Chain A
Amino acid sequence: DIQLTQSPSFLSASVGDRVTITCRASQGISSYLVWYQQKPGKAPKLLIYSASTLQSGVPSRFSGSGSGTEFTLTISSLQPEDFATYYCQQLNSYPRTFGPGTKVDIK
């Protein structure tokens, strides 16, 4: 199975901050990586697919990059509605594994 790790697992930030989350895969997965956002009590929401393609309706302050084994999710200017947990997921092989999540909290 492909293992995904995320760093940091928790970060505290202020509105307006630039935030970067890293996802690393245990083996190369090309660009077959997606990012989801989850708020408490809600289902995850798709943000980015193919490592860097923004899902329709997602604000442009979100961006993704990377390929192979290292990927990043960047929020260019954190907004109040962005405080949530972010998960990466690989689509390269079965089982479709998720990263453990990064919780973004208010400083």
Chain B
Amino acid sequence: EVQLVESGGGLVQPGGSLRLSCAASGFTFSAHYMDWVRQGPGGGLEWVGRTRNKANGYTTEYAASVKGRFTISRDDSKSSLYLQMDSLKTEDSAVYYCARVSGTVVDTDYFDSWGQGTLVTVSS
């Protein structure tokens, strides 16, 4: 059974940093692209970014709203995904989900498994 478990959320002051983790199990983590998606207090879903697999150079993509402040990385030996968040703003407050990407070609790169989410609150 595919499992994704996020951790690392919490309360942080504006300008601060936080590192989220996502522990994966039940599938070959190294083969998959992995994404982060967040859901703010207003309820809408916002794609944060992606890390591709080793075969595709571990390259990354980011939403404009987080580019330059957030860094996505992975450790295939630990089946773990990370989101380093720096220079946090109040508008980054959200539930952060990690999501498994089903395939590596266009039209197959939807999210077929999600974690339960971890809450990040940015406030003074």
Contact = CB atoms under 8 A, between A and B. Distances in A.
Contacts of A31: 107
A82 to B, nearest CB: 18
Contacts of A44: 45, 97, 111, 114
Interface residues of B, number: 23
A97 interface: yes
Interface string A12-45: 0000000000000000001110101000001111
A45 B2 CA distance: 13
A49 to B, nearest CB: 5
B57 interface: no
A43 B107 contact: no
Given A43-B115, A94-B61, A95-B63, A101 B44 contact: yes
A66 interface: no
Given A43-B97, A101-B43, A91 B117 contact: no
A56 B61 CA distance: 28
Nearest to A42: B116
B55 interface: no
A87 interface: yes
Majority secondary structure, B binding face: loop
Nearest to A1: B64
Contacts of A34: 110-111
Interface of A: 1, 30-32, 34, 36, 42-46, 49-50, 55, 85, 87, 89, 91-92, 94-98, 100-101
The 6 closest A-B pairs by CB, nearest first: A43-B114, A98-B45, A96-B47, A34-B110, A95-B63, A49-B110
Given A55-B112, A94-B61, A101-B45, 10 more contacts: A34-B111, A44-B45, A46-B111, A91-B106, A91-B110, A95-B61, A96-B35, A96-B50, A98-B44, A98-B45
Interface of B: 35, 43-47, 50, 61, 63-64, 97, 102, 106-112, 114-117
6 contacts: A1-B64, A30-B107, A36-B45, A43-B114, A95-B61, A96-B35
